[in-house]
Every structure is written in C-alpha cells, then in structure tokens.
C-alpha cells in the first residue's frame, strides 16, 4: 500500500487527475500493490476555499506522503492577484521549493503513431526520445524581485542567482542519467557569452565532466539550442539547464511529440517526489472533457518507476498508451482524419483497460 497525495488544482487538472488515478489502480491490480490516495487543495481552488493557494494542511499531506500527483494550477480568475496569492508562484513554485524538488525531468518522447501529429517533418522527429532536466528551485524564478517607482515610470527587477552547490547537484544528477543512457551524451544549455550565472554554470559542468570521462558533455547556448531543437532534435538525448531556459525549451520540445498534452514530468531531488504534466490548466477547454490526460498518466507511470521502483508496472502503462494510440484513439489536441475521437474519460478508460 503506497501513500500518495493527489492535488488536482485548477482547470483541466481536475479532469486529468482521476484518469491517472484510474490507470494507477489498474496497474496496482495487475502487479499486486495498491494506493491510499489522499486529496489536497492547491492553487486557485485552495485560494477560493481557504484564502491561500498552498494551505499548511496540503503541505503537511505532501510531507507525509510517499509521492505526489499534481494536475495543474492557475487560471484567468486569479491572474491579477498580487504575487503572494497567485497560484503559480504561491503554490506550485513554493511546493517545488519547500519539498526541495530541484530536478524537474521532462520526458520528450514521440510515440510512433503520432509521427504525423508533430508540426515538424517525420524524418526530423522520428524516434525522438529526449530527457530535459530542468533546474527547478533556483535561478530567475527564485531570485530577489523588486518593483519601484521612478521619475518617469517604474523599474522592475528579477535576479538570476545560482550557487556552485545548486549547479553541482543538478549537474551530477544529469551526468548520472547520461551514464545510464546508451548515448553517453549530455548537453548542458547556458548563455555563457552573456550571463555571469551561465559562466559559473559552465565552469561547474566542465569540472564535473572530468569526473565522468566516458560521458561526452557538450555545452551549447540556449538560443542555439532553441534552433537546434527544431532543426535536428535527434542530436539530443539528455539535456540539463537552468530553470527559466528549461521552462521555455520544454514547451518548445513538447511539439516534437505532437502535443504538449504528451509531455510528462517528474520533479525529484527531495524526500518526496512530485509528478506533474508540463502543461498548464488550459482554461479554454476546461470542464469540457477535451483535455488529453496522457501527460498526466505518463507522469504517473514515472511515479511507479522512480518513487516505487515498479519498472514493470511503469512500462505496462507506457505500452498501454502506445497501443491505444496505435489503435487510432485521439483526444482533440491530436485529432486528425481517420482517427477516433476520445474524450478525457474515454482515453483514461482505454489506457486502464489495456493495462
């Protein structure tokens, strides 16, 4: 029996979470384990109910769980609130920080059935499988912020700070992952030609590379990286980068898979890991059963892999997703001619029954 916290949050988060729970229960039945799921309030939903986006009770629930499933947080209703109340910063980012989830692993994998769903040519994306490791508790997101009046308007300041130890721990994790990967290749992304924090980043990564002589580490600039991801994404296997660059590059990279609704992630590093799709709350389609639950379901598969060491069960979920896609079922984000339209719940049911 595994204790998992379940935080649906807002928008489509509420719709995709039950599908992941359903699939996890099916996997448990097959492989002989079960879950005690406890739901917690987070994001705008928590703000509306309790006055804060991350109630102490939710944080405590997370700390007392063995893993966390998170849907998505935020929405237009809360967009104009001051920063200490905004769901994104005050719940999601705070959760990552409080739980020390400094490594956000984002899995960019193209399922063969979706090869024509990517806006890129099939020969460019065929066989793509990249892990982007995004530093998630430092950098621009967490540096000092300021807003002040000036004579002719206002001045706003965000600070990009990295310490050696922060780069070293994410760098080490990246090298360890590259070591387990057949390519033995690691790409470190920075902006060494402009940013001081990137110069420290590159120094630390270059130092670490000496400890891993059999890994081929390449450092590239973030702007070049954005271009290479579209030009020739097959050159990448494991990538590591700072928080903001990772936020932007992973949304870009999601289109190699056909839809951001396919981009699963795992936030690890602390005692309890959190599994969250990389997409947001999609207010435009929320409440209509149009959301693709696969990123959430695939994140749950990673939970079985990383938090509970059930590689077999994780693979069975990934295989089930592959089969359902091979059979032509598609949520609206991936719908094309000749395919069978499935809503959020139907997609979850299909995957669960395959498992």
Given Mg ion, ligand IPM, none, residue 92, with its beta carbon under 5 to 8 Å by kind, binds: ligand IPM
SS3 316: helix
Of 123 and 144, which CB lies nearer to ligand IPM in the complex structure? Answer: 144
In degrees, rounded to 5, the angle at the alpha carbon of residue 80 between the alpha carbons of residues 78 and 85 is: 60
Of 22 and 279, which CB lies nearer to ligand IPM in the complex structure? Answer: 279
Given Mg ion, ligand IPM, none, residue 24, with its beta carbon under 5 to 8 Å by kind, binds: none
| Nearest residue to Mg ion, scored by beta-carbon proximity | 247
Given ligand IPM, Mg ion, none, residue 74, with its beta carbon under 5 to 8 Å by kind, binds: ligand IPM
Of 20 and 136, which CB lies nearer to Mg ion in the complex structure? Answer: 136
Q: How many CA atoms lie within 13 A of 71 on its CB side?
A: 33
The secondary structure element, H or E, covering residue 14 is: helix 13-31
User: Angle 344-354/294-306 helices, nearest 10 degrees?
Assistant: 40
Give yes or no: 223 in active site: yes
303, 6 in Cβ contact below 8 A?
A: no
CB of 167 to Mg ion, least distance (A): 21
The secondary structure element, H or E, covering residue 294 is: helix 294-306
Of 286 and 320, which CB lies nearer to ligand IPM in the complex structure? Answer: 286
Of 74 and 171, which CB lies nearer to ligand IPM in the complex structure? Answer: 74
CB of 346 to ligand IPM, least distance (A): 26
CA–CA dist 38, 28 (Å, integer): 16
Of 22, 109, 191, 290, which is the active-site residue? 191
Residues ≥6 apart with Cβ < 8 Å to 121: none
Of 223, 232, 309, 326, which is the active-site residue? 223
Of 209 and 249, which CB lies nearer to ligand IPM in the complex structure? Answer: 249
The secondary structure element, H or E, covering residue 36 is: strand 35-39
Buried b (16+ CB within 10 A) or exposed e, 66-92: bbbbbbbbbbeebeeeeeebbbbbbbb
Given ligand IPM, Mg ion, none, residue 88, with its beta carbon under 5 to 8 Å by kind, binds: ligand IPM
Give yes or no: 247 in active site: yes
Give yes or no: 100 in active site: no
135, 141 in Cβ contact below 8 A?
A: no
CB of 280 to ligand IPM, least distance (A): 6
CB of 171 to ligand IPM, least distance (A): 20
Of 3, 100, 158, 251, which is the active-site residue? 251
Given ligand IPM, Mg ion, none, residue 246, with its beta carbon under 5 to 8 Å by kind, binds: none
Give yes or no: 10 in active site: no
Binding site for Mg ion (CB under 5 A): 247
CA–CA dist 304, 130 (Å, integer): 20
Of 102, 247, 290, 333, which is the active-site residue? 247
Indicate left, alpha or beta for 195 from its phi (over 0: left) and psi (-120 to 50: alpha).
beta
Binding site for ligand IPM (CB under 6 A): 74, 88, 92-93, 247, 278, 280
CB of 165 to ligand IPM, least distance (A): 21
CB of 70 to ligand IPM, least distance (A): 10
| Nearest residue to ligand IPM, scored by beta-carbon proximity | 88
149: how many CB neighbours lie within 10 A of its CB?
A: 8
DSSP string, 212-243: -TTSEEEEEEHHHHHHHHHH-GGG-SEEEE-H
The secondary structure element, H or E, covering residue 157 is: strand 153-158
List, by residue number, the catalytic residues.
141, 191, 223, 247, 251
């Amino acid at each position: 029996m595994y204790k998992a916290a379940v935080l649906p949050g807002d928008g489509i988060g509420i719709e995709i979470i039950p599908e992941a729970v359903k699939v996890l229960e099916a996997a448990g039945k097959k492989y002989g384990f079960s879950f005690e799921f406890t739901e917690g309030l987070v994001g705008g939903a928590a703000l509306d109910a309790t006055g804060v986006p991350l109630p102490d009770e939710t944080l405590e629930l997370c700390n007392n769980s063995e893993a966390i499933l998170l849907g998505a947080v935020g929405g237009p209703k809360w967009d104009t609130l001051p920063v200490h109340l905004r769901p994104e910063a005050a719940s999601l980012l705070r959760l990552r920080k409080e739980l020390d989830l400094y490594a956000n692993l984002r899995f960019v994998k193209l399922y063969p059935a979706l090869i024509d769903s990517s806006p890129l040519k099939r020969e460019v994306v065929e066989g793509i499988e990249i892990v982007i490791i995004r530093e998630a508790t430092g950098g621009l997101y967490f540096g000092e912020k300021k807003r002040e009046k000036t004579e002719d308007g206002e001045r706003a300041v965000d600070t990009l700070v990295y310490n050696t130890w922060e780069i070293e721990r994410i760098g080490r994790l990246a090298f360890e992952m590259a070591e387990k990967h057949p390519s033995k290749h690691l790409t470190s992304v920075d902006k060494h030609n402009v940013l001081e924090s990137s110069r420290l980043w590159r120094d630390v990564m270059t130092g670490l590379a000496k400890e891993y002589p059999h890994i081929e580490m390449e450092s590239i600039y973030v702007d070049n990286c954005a271009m290479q991801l579209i030009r020739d994404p097959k050159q990448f296997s494991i990538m590591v980068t700072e928080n903001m660059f990772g936020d932007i590059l992973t949304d870009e990279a999601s289109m190699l898979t056909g839809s951001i609704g396919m981009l699963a992630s795992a936030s690890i590093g602390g005692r309890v890991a959190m599994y969250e799709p990389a997409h947001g709350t999609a207010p435009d389609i929320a409440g209509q059963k149009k959301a693709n639950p696969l990123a959430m379901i695939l994140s749950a598969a990673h939970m079985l892999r990383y938090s509970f060491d059930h590689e077999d069960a994780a693979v069975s979920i990934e295989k089930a997703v592959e089969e359902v896609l091979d059979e032509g079922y598609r949520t609206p984000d991936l719908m094309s001619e000749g395919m069978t339209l499935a809503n959020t719940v139907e997609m979850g049911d299909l995957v669960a029954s395959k498992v």
